[in-house]
Amino acid sequence: MLRHRNFILLLLMIFIGYSCNSSSSSNQVSQKATQLSRSEAVPTQVIVEPVKEGLPVVKEGDSIIVVRSDNTRQVIQVLVGESSVQESTIPGYSQVMTGLVVRVSDGDTVVLLDADKTQHRIRLDGIDCPESKQSFGSKATQFVRDKIGNETVNVHYNKKDRYGRVLGVVVTQEGENINEALLANGLAWHYKYYNDNPVYAKLEQEAKDKKLNLWSEKNPIEPYEFRKMKKKK
C-alpha cells in the first residue's frame, strides 16, 4: 500500500505542478522516479518518452519505467516489469534470458518460464548428458533438478537448434555455471562435434582422470553414439 500511495503522490505532483516547461519537467520526473525507487528499494529503469494519451497504470514488478508525454498535461504512465532478455557477458553468447526452471526433462534439457509467462525449452549448449536409459542418465537429471529445479536462472544464448530448443549456458543466481558443473562432476561429455570450448575440454579431462561417475566405467558410450545405435534397431 505504501508503494501505491507513493505512486499516487508522484502522479498528483506531476499533474498539478509540472505543466509548463518540457525540458525542466523531464529532469524533475526522472528525479522523482529515482527518489521513489531508492526509498522503496526497487531496481529502477527510467525511460522518458512521449505519450499521446493514456492513464497511469501501476502493477507489481521489479523495474519502474516512467514514460512522459510532451504535452502540457504531463501524462505519466508507470509500467512495472523488467524484460527477461538482456545482453550476455559470457564470450560467444549475445543474449541472456532470465526465468524460472519449471521442469527438468533430463540432464541437459530444462524448461524455463520467463517474465511474460512464456515457456522455453533450453538445451544446455556444448555438453551431452547420458540418455535416461544409459548409466548415470538418471543421476545427471537429478543433479540438475537439485541445482536449479524451481529456481530462477540466467540462460546465455545465441540461437535455437533444429528442434526449436534454445541452445545456452545456464547460470544460477549465485553464479554457478551448470554446464561446467555437469562436466566437472563426470555427468556429461564435452560435445566436441559442435563445441570447441577449451574450458569444457579441460573439465571433462579432469573428471576422466578422477574417474568420476560415468568415467568410472571402463568403456562409457557417448549419448551421440547411443542414439545412433537406437536408430539402427
**Annotated active-site positions, please?**
123, 131, 165
Q: What is the Cα 59 distance to its own chain's centre?
A: 21
Closest CA to 55 of 69, 41, 65, 44: 69
CA distance to 26, 31, 75, per residue, from 67 (Å): 10, 13, 8
Per DSSP, the residues of 162-231 read TTSPEEEEEEETT--BHHHHHHHTTS-EE-TTT---HHHHHHHHHHHHHT-GGGGSSSPPPHHHHHHHHH
Closest CA to 183 of 174, 192, 175: 192
Give me the count of residues in the chain: 233
Q: What angle do CA 37, 172, 38 make, to 5 degrees?
A: 10
